[in-house]
Each structure stands twice: as structure tokens, then as C-alpha cells.
Amino acid sequence: MTRPATRAFLIWLLAMLAGAVVVWNSHFSADMSFFLPAKPSAEQQVLVDQLKEGVVSRLLMVAIEGGDAAQRAKASRDLRGRLEKLSEFVAVQNGEAGSQDADRNFLFEHRYLLSPAVKAERFTIDGLRDAIANSIDLLASPAGMMIKPLLPRDPTGELVEMLGGLNAGAQPNVSEGVWASRDGERAMLLIQTAALGSDTDGQEKAIDLIRSLFAEGTPGGELTVQLSGPGLFAVKSRATIKGEVTRLSTISTLAIIAVLFFVYRSGRLMTLGLLPVVSGALAGIVAVSLAYGTVFGITVGFGSALIGEAVDYSIYYFVQSSKLSVEQWRARFWPTIRLGVLTSICGFAALLFSGFPGLSQLGLYSLSGVLAAAIVTRFILPPLAGSNFAMRDLSHLGPVLKRGIAVLQGLRWPVIILTLVAASLLAINRDQLWHPNLSALSTVSAEDGAIDQALRADISAPDARYMAVITAPDREAALQAAERAGQQLDGLIVQGIIGGYDSPARFLPSLAMQASRRASLPASEELQARLQTALTDSPLAASKLGGFLDDVTKAREQGSVTRETLNGTSLALAVDSLLLQRPNGWSVLLPLRPPGGDKGIDIAIEPVRAALAGSGALFVDMKNEFDNLYNDYLHEATLLSLAGFVAIVALLAVTLRSPRRLATVLLPLLIAVVLVITGLHLAGEQLHLLHLIGMLLIVAVGSNYALFFDRADKGEGLDSQTLVSMAVANLTTAIGFGTLALSNVPVLHAVGITVGPGAILALLLSACFVGRQRD
Amino acid sequence: MIKRLLGCLFLVALALPASAAFDVGQLMSDLAKHKGGKAKFVEKKYISLLDKPVVSTGEMTYTAPDRLEKRTLTPKVETLLLDKDILSIEREKQKLSINLANQPEALAFVDSIRGTLAGNRAALEKNYALYLSGNSEKWVLTLLPSEQKIAAMVQRITVSGQKNQVRVIEYLQTDGDRSVLSIDPIELK
């Protein structure tokens, strides 16, 4: 090695080592934060919190299939018994009788502090008479059998008042004493993990535990277990992304190595040719890791495309400079390549400004990768390769390519007509082109989605679409606010606008509320005297209500219900999931239930907003937020793509200094975009925002080829070397992006399926339109 | 216990002579012919805790074989609807829906009335031993729970009627409380 070569190599090696250290210490993640907004609105923050740590995100649904109902019930009980002992699970429900006794006892024990009906008026003579008469009426009803044993202690019916607010609507079926699916063919369990929804490792561990403990409890293999839930989706999608990153990078690397070997026929040149690629891939991860702290798996998956793009520069260098000195190459070709690099960078840089974190990472990753690859090609590669490298002579391919170009140039009018047809087709179908929501980007397969829906329906699992959200500085203030909002919501129930709601204040009232309820309870003698008068004409004699007097007296002296009092009941879980401590205060969630029946499953949003206005509670429709989020992303991606496009046009305009040349460079790129999009539409692909980004990348990447033809057009002519280098570079780019098209991850697939064919078309169309016709 | 045994023997003795002409099978097929209709009802619940019985009145509509609506008008409006295995109760603004397939005890209880109305002998005999007395003009069908869990709630159910029309259903609970449901059909014009 020469001295400059040694120096270049050492600098490169040092940079690589530093990069490797950064990558080694990087945090990689394959969770959904890829899709969650970087700067969320208040409503979107609720959505993000729910997805990351909400109760619903921690629910796993389990179905046991096979065998007979008794075997399934036994397996269900056995699984619950095993899981319940583990700290990884906060709740394991399977509908077993007895599991609700603790809750009922707690409610009954503390009924005078918890019942919303406890007010001073209720314990006046009239109040007592009405409440007791009402309870006696209830005895006449079929529900009477349940309340009869409690009547002497609870004649005013506080337990009924409390249970009235709970969701008694949908309950899962029961078979052999445990929950079963609607068709009775599966036993069902609902499990809440201790791990947050965003903790994919924790979710994976919980899922593995469920599977292995189930297998332990049911040897023989007659019964099978099926799981679903957000946690499972997270684990599966992480596995998918991990697998894809390896698979796609391997495919694209092997294919590109094969192409390079065919072109170079030299192990040394091939290795050198891969230097910029390796440097680019490493630089991309380093930049993302330093800028964002976390590198998304999908970003790394994008590396397969980067490989195809980054290898181009070394191809240009080796093929074009085989008959030139380094200086001549730098003078003749480098400015064109540099301009191509800059247009690519413009395209990727537009993504940096996206509020969609995944997109901005992809932008930074590709930008740094391309830049590093270009720099390595320009400064490191020539000294390392030396001036005399044995490049295979490919000039015999030149005439073939030139004949091809001549044919293409004869096709100008047909291409223009085809483009016009395609454009009008797109214009006519413009309303059906786009996928309407964020699910387009989800890695959850249709099959898994269907299983999830089936299990969810079988177990009546909450979907938590509507919520009122309150934030407050401390727990007491949060609970008081929840009580105030609750009063408004009670009004909406009466009007039939909502069916019901959950509130942590139902089981854990604010201390102020408990104090006021306690203060409304009369002293024993006073209560006894009032009862005597109230029950003069009643079939229920006051003398039979000793238990009532004792319980009221006890309640007057009873301490307040605190969060600790709830321990040992499932109500603790309900409260914890609805009352959350945040770094800067407390927040309360009040899930709202739709009115049901013929009023459907939607809640009219306006009346709820109006009722909650001024209560400090924010009403959030999760589905709406998801749709809005996606629309925001799409809208932003449109703007960014346009901005990127404008930047590329401006860059080319400044460099080319000729409107005509600018137009001839842009025309083939725009035609390529139109044809690719039409092709995708006809192939049945619904477009989403990554296809849109793909369009920008067609222009950014494709401009490289148009620029070479433009340079030739300027009078320098296209020699065989340049043509061959372009063909090979185009092939590797198409391989890199094309590999992404194989991906099951929609984000990667969309970019690949758009840019892969787009890059090839950009080359062919540039040949067709940009090159000068030589008659 | 002796008393109960004697009672049973007495019932059996009553049932035997009639069996030649009128037996449970005959009654069931008579009842099964009844395709439904509307009736007024008065229900009296005798509860030891209360000095007077609780009385409720209203209307019942039965549509064979498995739809029964009981609309209480006094003292409080309340609708109870049994449609196949779904029991829904609507009272004031509250609505409660129970899937009886989940609650075998409640189902057994409901089956006592539904099985009788529909003449479904198999459903009745699943949970009760049947004893019939009287003749087709005026009969009394006694249901004694055979299942331990039901016996813990209901001691005896006595259904009496004329021809294919059920007239009185009496539930005697294990704690001694009882309820008497008198049914008065509204003749359809």
C-alpha cells in the first residue's frame, strides 16, 4: 500500500471503529413507537399512553380448544391457578364462581361511604320511607330473591344503588362453571399482565409463561391454547421485523455481490466496492442512534435499499475510471455524481421534518448512509484501489445498450400517450387510490386480526374506544374532578346519549365525598326514632332492622376507604387502571360505554363534549384519534414530499441553469411516478403514505440517471463505460429496493414496490427522453 | 322429613288412579297444544320478614315455545322478558340482561315455568321429579327439585290449571317464604 492509501485506510478504519462502538451501545426497538406521533396533541397523548401502558394494551385473551367442555374447564381452572401465583400477572379471570365474593363483600362492607345515593335527605323520615318502600317493591320483582337476605341490614338498598352503575350488560358465556366462547367450543380467560403494553420483552415473557404453563398442565396435547391481544401483536411484529431485517439484507447483499462479481470478476474490486456500502449502512445507524437514542427495527430493515443505492457510487467509479486517471474521473464524472447525491439527499432530508418518528428516522438513516457512501467513494476508495486496477473490459456491452437507447427513443410518443392514459385513469379513480387509515401500516396480519376479533367478541373484552380524561395535581383533586365529571355523565345516561361509564371514584371516592357521605348518617338513636315514624304503615317492622342501625353506627366510625383498603379485590385493579400517577400529576380515565340497543355502538360526540365542557375533562374518541393521526401523517407526508420535490427542482435548476434542460431531466422522472402508481393501482395495491414517500424517492434516486444522460446531451457524448456503469448501478438499486417489496412489513413493502420499478423506469425513460437523438 | 315423605306418598297415591286416563304425558301433550296468549296475573309474595304479603300485578304474554314476557304494572313498572336463554329485566332506567346458559340454577328455576307452559316434559324432568293429581279438567302438577343446588333454594313448585291452561304457580322456598302467581287468561276475540 502507498502512503496516501495507508493514511486513507487508517482514517476509514478509525471512523468505522468509532461507528461500531456507537452501534454496539445503541438501543434497538421494534415496538409501535415507530408509528406514534413525536409531538402529540393532548388527545393524541391519551392515545399514546393507552397504547403504551393502558389496561387494554395489557390484556391478553386466551382460548382453550379441543377435548370436551369438562376437560376445557379443568384446563382453564388449572391455568388460572398456576398463573395467579406469578407476579407477571396482575389479574387472571376465567369466570370461576367465588372470584367475585371479595368484591361484593368489600362493596357491602363500605356501602355507606361508596353508594352514590347516600345523602342527608336519604336518612330523613321521608327519605327512609321512600328508600325502604322501594326495596320492598324490589322484593316483588324477580330480582327480589337476591336482595331478600340483605334487607334487614341494607333496607335502603345501597348495594343495589352501587351495582346499578356497573356494567351488567355484556358477560361472557359460562360452561362448566368457567367462561366459554359463544359457541361453547372454547374455554376463555382474560389475563392482565404486569408488564406494560410497550414492554415487548415483558409481554413476550408473559406469553411464553402462559404457553408453557398451559402445556405443563395439559399433557397429552388434546387441548390447544390460542392467544391474542395487543401484547401478542407487539411480540409477533417484533419477530417479523427482526426476521425481515436479516432476510432482506441477506437477499439484497447476495444479489448485489453476484452482480458485482459478474461486472468486476475480481475479489479485490468487489471487496473495495462494498466498502462504501458497509460505511453507509454503519453511518446510517450511528446517525440515527445519536440523534434519536433508539433505532427502530424497520429503519435497519431499510438498509437493504440503502445497500442497493450506496453501491452505485463505487460502480460509477470503477467502471467509469477504468480508462481514466483518478483526476480525470473526478473532473469528468464527479460533478454529475455529486449532483445525484445531493438530489437523493434532498429527497431523504424532506423526511427529517416528519412528525411520524419512523419516517424521520428512515430519512436520517438514508441521508447519512448515502452521504457516507459518497464520501468514502470520493476520498477513500481511489487511494485504496490505486491507479491501476484490472477492470474487466465491458465496452462490448456499449453497442448493445446504445441500440437499446435508440429503440427507446423511438417510443417517445407511445410513452407520452400511455402516460396520459395512466394519468387520466388515476384522476378518475383518485378517491379509491388511498387506504383510509393507519391500519395500512400495521404489521398485524389479516389472519391474526380475525382471531383477535373472534376472541374479543367471545369474551366481550372492552375495546375502550371512548374516554373522558382528566388531569389533576394530586390524587384527591383527580378523584374530585372525576366525581364532578361523573355528575355530568349521569345526566347523559338519563338522556340516553351514553350507556354508562366507569370511574375510579366509584370504588375510591374522594376523601371529601366520603366525609360528606359519613356526615349525612344520623346517630343511632336519632335513626331509630326516624325509622319508627317512617315505617308506621310499612309491612316491614322497624324492630327487624337492628342490623341496619348497627351498620350505620359502624360506618360513622369507620375510617375512610383508601387505595390500600381495596387490596385483595379486583376493584383495586379497576381503580389502578383508571387512576394513574404521572410524572407531573395524576390522570383519571373515564371509559364511556355506548347506549347500545338500536342506538348502535357509536356515541354522539357533540353532546358529550358539551356536557363535559368546563368540567376539565377531555373527551377522546380513540378511533377518531387514530384516523386523525393517520390523516395528519398523510397530510404532512404530502407536504414534505412536495417540499422535497421543490428542493430537488431548485437544486437542479441552479446547477443546470437552463429551463429546457431542467424540463428534460424532470419529465422522465414524473412519467415514471405516474406509471408506477398506475401499475400499483391496477395491481390492487391500496396506496398509503409510504407509497407517497416512494414517489419522492423515485425522483430523488432516478434523477441520477437523468443527469448522466443530460451531461451526455450537453455534448460530451455517452461512452460505453458510462452506459454500462449506469445499467449496473440501476440494477443494484432496483435489487436493493426490490428486495423491500418482498417484505411483510407494510412500511418497507410500500417503499420497495414503488421505488424498485420506479428506478428502472427512471433509467429507461431518461434514455428515452433525455439523450439526444443521433440520426 | 317424615311429613315430607308422607306428603309425597299422598301425592303419589293421588296420581296413581288417574294415571290410566290422565298422566303427565297426557298433560304435557295438552299443554304443548297451547300456542300462547295473554293473561293478567296477580303475584303475592309471603315473606317472613314482612308483616304483609307483597302484591304485584300485571300482564303476561306467552308465545310457544320459549318466549315469555311478564309485565308488572303495580307497584312499579317492570318488564321481564325471557327469550330463549336470555332473560332481560327492565326496571326504571336500568336494564339487565342475563344469559341463563351461564346460570344453571336460574335456568332450572325458569325451566319450571317455561317447561310447564310448553309441555316440555324432558326439560322438567331434568331438574324435577313430577307428580300429577286430578284430571284433565282440573289438575295439580307438583315439581320437587332433584338437583341439590336447586333444592337449596326451592322446596317445591306447585302448578295447577284447567285443561291446557296454567292458572296458579306456587313457589315454596326453602326458608319458608312463598310466592303465589295467579294467572287469569284474557280471552282473545
Domains and CATH numbers, chain B: 22-185 (2.50.20.10)
Considering only alpha carbons, which residue of chain A is nearest residue B109? A142
- Higher-scoring residue by pLDDT: A4, A489: A489
3-state DSSP call for residue A445?
Answer: coil
- Binned at pLDDT 50, 70 and 90, residue B21 comes out as low
Question: Does the beta carbon of A541 lie under 8 angstroms from any beta carbon of chain B?
Answer: yes
Find all residues with CB under 8 Å of B7, minimum gap 6, and list them.
Answer: none
CA distance A286 to B188: 87
Question: Does the beta carbon of A175 lie under 8 angstroms from any beta carbon of chain B?
Answer: yes
Is the Cβ pair B51, A175 closer than 8 Å? no
**pLDDT of A315 above 60:** yes
> Which cell numbers in the block locate residue A618?
377531555
For A337-384, write each residue's pLDDT tens digit: 899 899 989 989 999 998 888 889 999 999 999 999 999 998 888 888
For residue B26, give how far its alpha carbon lies from the nearest alpha carbon of chain A (Å).
31
| Most confident listed range (A157-161, A614-618, A691-695) | A691-695
Q: Report the residue from B43, B75, B98 with minimal CB separation from A137.
A: B75
> Which cell numbers in the block locate residue B79?
318488564
CA distance A652 to A666: 9
CA distance A757 to A741: 10
- Binned at pLDDT 50, 70 and 90, residue B19 comes out as very low
Q: Which long-range contacts (CB under 8 A, 24 or more apart) does A120-127 make?
A: A120/A519, A120/A520, A122/A156, A122/A520, A123/A520, A123/A521, A123/A522, A123/A527, A123/A530, A124/A530, A125/A530, A125/A533, A125/A534, A126/A534
For residue A532, give how far its alpha carbon lies from the nearest alpha carbon of chain B (Å).
15
The pLDDT assigned to A774 comes to 44
Q: How many beta-carbon contacts under 8 Å exist across A and B?
A: 68
The pLDDT assigned to B17 comes to 46
The pLDDT assigned to A505 comes to 92
B98 CB neighbours in chain A (<8 A) are 171
The pLDDT assigned to B94 comes to 66
CA distance A354 to A636: 7
Q: Mean pLDDT throughout B119-136?
A: 86
Q: Report the residue from A143, A174, A539 with minimal CB separation from B52.
A: A539
Q: Which long-range contacts (CB under 8 A, 24 or more apart) does A119-125 make?
A: A119/A517, A119/A520, A120/A519, A120/A520, A122/A156, A122/A520, A123/A520, A123/A521, A123/A522, A123/A527, A123/A530, A124/A530, A125/A530, A125/A533, A125/A534
> Which cell numbers in the block locate residue A765?
425513460
Mean pLDDT rounded to a whole number for chain A? 86
Amino acid of residue B28: M
For residue A171, give how far its alpha carbon lies from the nearest alpha carbon of chain B (Å).
8
Number of H helices, E strands in chain A: 31, 13
Contact at 8 Å (CB) between B47 and A139?
Answer: yes
CA distance A715 to A307: 32
CA distance B128 to B11: 15
Q: Mean pLDDT throughout A400-413?
A: 87
Is the Cβ pair B52, A493 closer than 8 Å? no
A164 CB neighbours in chain B (<8 A) are 94
Find all residues with CB under 8 Å of A327, minimum gap 6, and list them.
Answer: none
The H or E element containing residue B16 is helix B2-19
Q: Mean pLDDT throughout A46-71?
A: 85
Q: What one-character DSSP code corresponds to residue A714?
A: I
How many other β-carbons are positioned within 10 Å of the β-carbon of residue A741?
Answer: 18
Q: Report the residue from B70, B91, B93 with minimal CB separation from A494.
A: B93
**pLDDT of A1 above 50:** yes
B88 CB neighbours in chain A (<8 A) are none
B173 CB neighbours in chain A (<8 A) are 145
**pLDDT of A469 above 50:** yes
Contact at 8 Å (CB) between A770 and A713?
Answer: yes
**pLDDT of A323 above 60:** yes
Considering only alpha carbons, which residue of chain B is nearest residue A496? B93
Question: Does the beta carbon of A166 lie under 8 angstroms from any beta carbon of chain B?
Answer: no
CA distance A114 to A106: 10
| Most confident listed range (A144-148, A675-679, A704-708, B146-150) | A675-679
Sole residue written with cell 414517489: A695
For A202-229, write each residue's pLDDT tens digit: 999 999 999 999 998 887 778 999 999 8
Question: Does the beta carbon of A493 lie under 8 angstroms from any beta carbon of chain B?
Answer: yes
Question: Burial code of A379-403, b = ≥16 C-beta within 10 A, e = fewer?
Answer: ebbbbbbeeeeebeebeebbeebbe
ipTM over 0.90 threshold: no
Is the Cβ pair B153, A169 closer than 8 Å? no
CA distance A280 to B143: 85
CA distance A27 to A31: 12
Cis peptide bond prior to B65, omega within 30° of 0: yes
Nearest alpha carbon to residue B75 among B45, B117, B106? B45
Is the Cβ pair A539, B50 closer than 8 Å? yes
B91 CB neighbours in chain A (<8 A) are 141, 143
For residue A447, CA distances in Å to A443, A453, A587, A683 come to: 11, 10, 36, 22
**pLDDT of B15 above 60:** no
- Binned at pLDDT 50, 70 and 90, residue A4 comes out as confident
The pLDDT assigned to A708 comes to 85
> Which cell numbers in the block locate residue B151?
333444592
The pLDDT assigned to B20 comes to 47
Nearest alpha carbon to residue A384 among A773, A757, A12, A771? A12
For B36-90, write each residue's pLDDT tens digit: 788 899 999 888 888 888 888 999 888 877 888 889 888 778 888 888 877 887 7
- Binned at pLDDT 50, 70 and 90, residue B13 comes out as very low
Question: Does the beta carbon of A352 lie under 8 angstroms from any beta carbon of chain B?
Answer: no
Question: Does the beta carbon of B3 lie under 8 angstroms from any beta carbon of chain A?
Answer: no
The pLDDT assigned to B68 comes to 87
> How many percent of chain A have pLDDT more than 70?
95
> How many percent of chain A have pLDDT more than 90?
30
In a mutational test of the A interface, the residue from B48, B50, B85, B103 whose CB has the highest number of chain A CBs within 10 Å is B50
Phi, psi for B36 (deg, rounded to 5): 120, 175
Is the Cβ pair B55, A140 closer than 8 Å? yes
The pLDDT assigned to B189 comes to 41
The pLDDT assigned to A473 comes to 92
B50 CB neighbours in chain A (<8 A) are 136, 139, 539-540
The pTM of the full predicted model, rounded to 2 decimals, is 0.76
Q: Mean pLDDT throughout A560-575?
A: 84
Contact at 8 Å (CB) between A260 and A391?
Answer: no
Q: Mean pLDDT throughout A193-197?
A: 87
Sole residue written with cell 328455576: B109
For A625-645, write each residue's pLDDT tens digit: 888 888 888 889 899 999 999
Question: Burial code of B47-85, b = ≥16 C-beta within 10 A, e = fewer?
Answer: bebbeebbebebebebebbeebbbbbeebeebebbbeee
For residue B106, give how far its alpha carbon lies from the nearest alpha carbon of chain A (Å).
11
Q: Directed axis angle between helix A397-409 and helix A720-741, to 10°?
A: 70
Question: Does the beta carbon of B78 lie under 8 angstroms from any beta carbon of chain A?
Answer: yes
> Which cell numbers in the block locate residue A311?
453501491
Is the Cβ pair B49, A137 closer than 8 Å? no
B45 CB neighbours in chain A (<8 A) are 139-140, 144
Q: Mean pLDDT throughout B163-168?
A: 86
Q: What one-character DSSP code corresponds to residue A462?
A: -
B56 CB neighbours in chain A (<8 A) are 140-141
The pLDDT assigned to A143 comes to 64
Question: Does the beta carbon of B92 lie under 8 angstroms from any beta carbon of chain A?
Answer: no
Contact at 8 Å (CB) between A367 and A342?
Answer: no
CA distance A382 to A375: 11
For A428-455, write each residue's pLDDT tens digit: 988 888 887 777 777 788 888 888 888 8
The pLDDT assigned to A733 comes to 92
Find all residues with CB under 8 Å of A486, minimum gap 6, and list them.
Answer: A501, A503, A505, A590
Contact at 8 Å (CB) between A390 and A267?
Answer: no
Q: Mean pLDDT throughout A583-589?
A: 86
Longest dimension (CA), chain B: 52
A169 CB neighbours in chain B (<8 A) are 95, 97
The distance in angstroms from the start CA to the end CA of chain B is 49
Is the Cβ pair A173, B54 closer than 8 Å? no
**pLDDT of A599 above 60:** no
**pLDDT of B12 above 50:** no
Is the Cβ pair A173, B101 closer than 8 Å? yes
Q: Report the residue from A143, A152, A171 with minimal CB separation from B49.
A: A152
- Higher-scoring residue by pLDDT: A184, A195: A195
Phi, psi for A84 (deg, rounded to 5): -60, -25
Q: What one-character DSSP code corresponds to residue A481?
A: H
Q: What one-character DSSP code corresponds to residue A335?
A: H
**pLDDT of A555 above 80:** yes
Considering only alpha carbons, which residue of chain B is nearest residue A149? B49
Is the Cβ pair A139, B47 closer than 8 Å? yes
Sole residue written with cell 373472534: A454
The H or E element containing residue A587 is strand A585-593
In a mutational test of the A interface, the residue from B43, B49, B87, B181 whose CB has the highest number of chain A CBs within 10 Å is B49
Nearest alpha carbon to residue B137 among B44, B25, B14, B30? B30
The pLDDT assigned to B9 comes to 47
Give A 130-159 residues with CB within 8 A of chain B.
Answer: 136-145, 148, 151-152
Give B 27-46 residues with CB within 8 A of chain A.
Answer: 43, 45
For A715-763, write each residue's pLDDT tens digit: 656 778 888 888 999 999 999 999 999 998 888 999 999 999 999 999 9
